[in-house]
Amino acid sequence: MTTPALAAGADASLGGRQVVHVIGSLAAGGAERFVVDLVCELRRRGLELTLLALSRRRDAVGEAMAAALARSGVRVWSGPTERVRYRTVLAYARALRRLRPDLVHLHNVNAEAAHYLVRRFLGFPYAGVRTVHSSRLDDSLLVRRGFAANPIGATIFCSGAARESNGSRFCGLVRTIENGVRFDWPVRTPELAHEAKRELGLDPDRLHFLCVGRIMGRKLAEAPKAHDTLVAAWRRTGLGEGALLHVVGDGNLRPALEALAGGDPTIAFHGVRSDVRRWLLAADCFVMPSRWEGLPIAAVEALGTGLPCIFSRIPALEDLRPARAHWCEPSDVASLARALVEFARAPGYPPASAVQEERRRFSIESTASAYLETYARLLGSTDRSV
């Protein structure tokens, strides 16, 4: 099989180089979906790539991602355990020693911790890159040591908000490269929305609000996606007669959130879905009242689909500069309830030109080009990590 040329200017440094990306697992999550899109695009441009998933856990979204990776010719390795344990770290070290990559790219806190534990035993030269996917970082001891000691030549922040919050703690080359998406589905139109509603069994005469994200955290009142604020606000609005709230996602806090919903028949929990883009086409409004974010892929996908959004006023969401949005204050039930009612009373949709601009700004192609430039800078240097 022939592979296309690398991006212009990167050929001399990247031709024949082996690159490994490390994530926690192939499972539903914005960072994971971004990494899969990124490595598939980098492989399309001719880079030799392997994706290492520390956990063997996969859900329906993970299976779809694995199929996309296989179609793109990206090699995938998964660890031996569901949760990251001692065996996982040993297997990760063996995988790296076997592959001997020229560049190792870490994408989450589990990757940082595992790499910290094996870094002294790898025995071959490589360049290191990390991407910071959140504006609020895990502060556990092992992760802090990983951030400080892992041999990283470049730190990439997924948004200006993530860099503003955390940039001072990292040295070396620091860049902001916004997350990208492969927009391989159409922009929403009334006709497409009606068809998607029919396929999903949704009543076309009701408004459908959609929230996508992991329902995870230590407790509902502190969870990043603020599902508790959304459910409380929804129940306050009284919109149920003509509208439904759809929650797509899963996590350890789902039972507590369903209890908070109190059996409200106008709140539907759908769990992990591999057809999120079909849901985006069917929805009338996307809702993300997060307490913090890095650069949320689900929000970018919603904007690139042509959905109006309800966002909390946090830097990462304000940085998106949506053409049509209602805003609420973080963790403010009354503020979010007002935004939900305002949209229901006067639904409005962004112009097609604004949607196309979102797609251009957040295209995986432009994101991949910026990553390739960073790789070329590191691999073209004689100063390599060991």
pLDDT tens, position by position, 112-133:
999 999 999 999 999 999 999 9
Q: Confirm whether 2 is domain-assigned.
A: no
Q: Which two tokens stand for residue 95?
A: 């995988």
Q: What is the pLDDT of residues 174-209, one digit of tens each?
A: 999 999 999 999 999 999 999 999 999 999 999 999
How many domains in the chain? 2
Question: Do residues 116 and 27 both lie within one domain?
Answer: yes
Question: Do 45 and 85 reside in the same domain of the chain?
Answer: yes
Token reading at 137: 């970082």
* pLDDT digit string, tens, across residues 310-352: 999 999 999 999 999 999 999 999 999 999 999 999 999 999 9
Higher pLDDT, 5 or 239: 239
Does the pLDDT at position 382 exceed 60? no
Question: Is the pLDDT assigned to residue 151 strictly greater than 60?
Answer: yes
Is a pLDDT exceeding 50 seen at residue 4?
A: no
Whether the predicted pLDDT of 5 surpasses 60: no
Instruction: Please indicate, yes or no, whether residues 158 and 293 belong to a single structural domain of this protein.
Output: no
pTM: 0.94
**pLDDT given at position 2:** 34
pLDDT for 331: 98
In a domain, 44, yes or no: yes
Q: How many CB atoms lie within 10 A of CB 162?
A: 28
220 and 146 belong to one structural domain: no
**pLDDT over 90 (residue 366):** yes
Is 25 found in the same domain as 159? Answer: yes
pLDDT score of 40 more than 70: yes
pLDDT at 11: 45
Is the residue at 228 inside a domain? yes
- Quick one: average pLDDT of 86-94? 97
Look up the domain containing 96 and give its range: 11-182+363-379
Of 90-104, 138-152, 305-319, the one with minimum mean pLDDT is: 138-152
- pLDDT of residue 362 exceeding 60, the answer is yes
Q: Are residues 268 and 301 in the same domain?
A: yes
Contact in structure between 109 and 116 (CB atoms under 8 Å):
no
Q: Is residue 384 part of a domain?
A: no
Both 60 and 173 in one domain: the answer is yes
Q: Does a structural domain hold residue 386?
A: no
Residues 93, 99, 104, 108, CA torsion sign: negative
Question: pLDDT tens digits, residue range 217-268?
Answer: 999 999 999 999 999 999 999 998 899 999 999 999 999 999 999 999 999 9
- The mean pLDDT value for 95-117 works out to 97
- 169, 194: one domain: no
If asked whether residues 212 and 169 sit together in one domain, one would say no
The three-state DSSP-derived secondary structure of the chain is CCCCCCCCCCHHHHCCCEEEEEECCECCCHHHHHHHHHHHHHHHCCCEEEEEECCCCECHHHHHHHHHHHHHCCEEEECCCCCCCHHHHHHHHHHHHHHCCCEEEECCHHHHHHHHHHHHHCCCCEEEEEEECCCCCCCCHHHHHHHHHCCCCEEEECCHHHHHHHHHHCCCEEEECCCCECCCCCCCCHHHHHHHHHHHCCCCCCEEEEEECCCCCCCHHHCCCCHHHHHHHHHHHCHHHCEEEEEEECCCCHHHHHHHHCCCCCEEEEECCCCHHHHHHHCCEEEECCCCCCCCHHHHHHHHHCCCEEEECCHHHHCCCCCCEEEECCCCHHHHHHHHHHHHHCCCCCCHHHHHHHHHHCEHHHHHHHHHHHHHHHHCCCCCEC
What's residue 15's pLDDT? Answer: 78
**Domain CATH code at residue 108:** 3.40.50.2000
d(CA 2, CA 93): 31
Do 222 and 96 share a structural domain?
A: no
Q: What is the pLDDT of residue 62?
A: 97
Residue 281 — pLDDT band, cuts 50, 70, 90? very high
Classify residue 336 by burial, with Cβ atoms within 10 Å: 0-12, 13-18, 19+.
buried
The answer as to whether 269 is a domain residue is yes
Both tokens of 181, joined, read 């998406």
For residue 35, tell me if it sits in a domain.
yes
Are both 148 and 61 inside the same structural domain?
yes
In a domain, 4, yes or no: no
- Residue 381: per-residue pLDDT: 61
Residues in a beta bridge with 128: 104
Pair (162, 24) in one structural domain = yes
The per-residue pLDDT of the chain, averaged, comes to 94
> What is the per-residue pLDDT for 13?
57
